[in-house]
Amino acid sequence: MHYPNGKKRMTTNQSKNTLNNPTNFGKRGMTLENDINETNHYYLEWNIAVVHKKPTPVQIVQVDYPKRSAAVIREAYFKQASTTDYNGLYKGRYIDFEAKETRSRTSFPLANIHQHQVDHMKSVVEHNGICFLIIRFENQDESFLLPAEQFFPYWDRQFQGGRKSIPINDIKEHGFKIPFSLQAKVDYLKVIEQVYL
């Protein structure tokens, strides 16, 4: 049976199968970026915050036009190094953050971040913006908000002979676990409320 919007309705047998085989939400099959994009869409729809993914500036060099509706970009390059992934406004405060996933069970590799991104984050903090990293440990399916101010010492230490990663226990100690909900899969604003506001 179809609803007016075209979506199928489950039959009685399908409903019974769903009850007997509950869905495993542990691995939802989505990337961190998709989860954040969905969360930001929810925030925008409900007028909670305005946060968007920053577009990466690209210079297109060569395009094939077999026909106008089927143009294909053959060659392009990045105009400049990108900064962080997301920025926006929440309750009159500027927020800016980078989102990263790791398959490591024990630590977050600093090689996932670049110096120009850290320089940008330091500028945001200097100007009293809210800046942080969202780090997801894929295997544990846990996401953490690590304030930029807590991240900087780890970044700087690696150049003085320190570790080139942040142990997960340090992230748990200095960061904040981000709650999951159906509407906001990465509900980082709940953490911002506790930490910054």
Sequence-distant (6+) residues with CB within 8 A of 148 are 121, 122, 124, 125, 131, 132, 133
Report how far residue 111's alpha carbon sits from residue 83's, in angstroms, rounded to the nearest whole number: 15
**∠ CA 148-149-152 to the nearest 5 degrees?**
80
Domains in the chain: boundaries: 35-54+81-195
For domain 35-54+81-195, give the CATH number: 3.40.1350.10
- Residue 12 assigned to a binding site: no
Sequence-distant (6+) residues with CB within 8 A of 172 are 144
**∠ CA 183-140-114 to the nearest 5 degrees?**
85
Report how far residue 169's alpha carbon sits from residue 171's, in angstroms, rounded to the nearest whole number: 5
With CA atoms as reference, report the closest residue to 88 among 126, 143, 36, 137: 36
Report how far residue 77's alpha carbon sits from residue 116's, in angstroms, rounded to the nearest whole number: 18
Which tokens sit at 53? 């993914």
Q: Please, which pLDDT band fits residue 142 given cuts at 50, 70 and 90?
A: very high
Q: How confident is the model over 182-196, as a mean pLDDT?
A: 94
**What's this model's pTM, rounded to 2 decimal places?**
0.76
- Residue 98 assigned to a binding site: yes
> Quick check: helix, strand or coil at residue 168?
helix
147-167 b/e with 16+ CB inside 10 Å = b?
bbebbeebbeeeeeeeeebbe
**∠ CA 39-40-41 to the nearest 5 degrees?**
90
Between 80-84, 109-113, 134-138, the lowest mean confidence (pLDDT) is in: 80-84
Summarised one tens digit per residue, pLDDT across range 33-63 is 999 999 999 999 999 999 999 876 666 777 7
Residue 50 · residue 152 · CB < 8 Å: no
- Residue 85 assigned to a binding site: yes
Report how far residue 57's alpha carbon sits from residue 79's, in angstroms, rounded to the nearest whole number: 6
Average pLDDT, the chain: 84
Sequence-distant (6+) residues with CB within 8 A of 6 are none
Question: Residue 178: pLDDT above 80?
Answer: yes
- Residue 149 assigned to a binding site: no
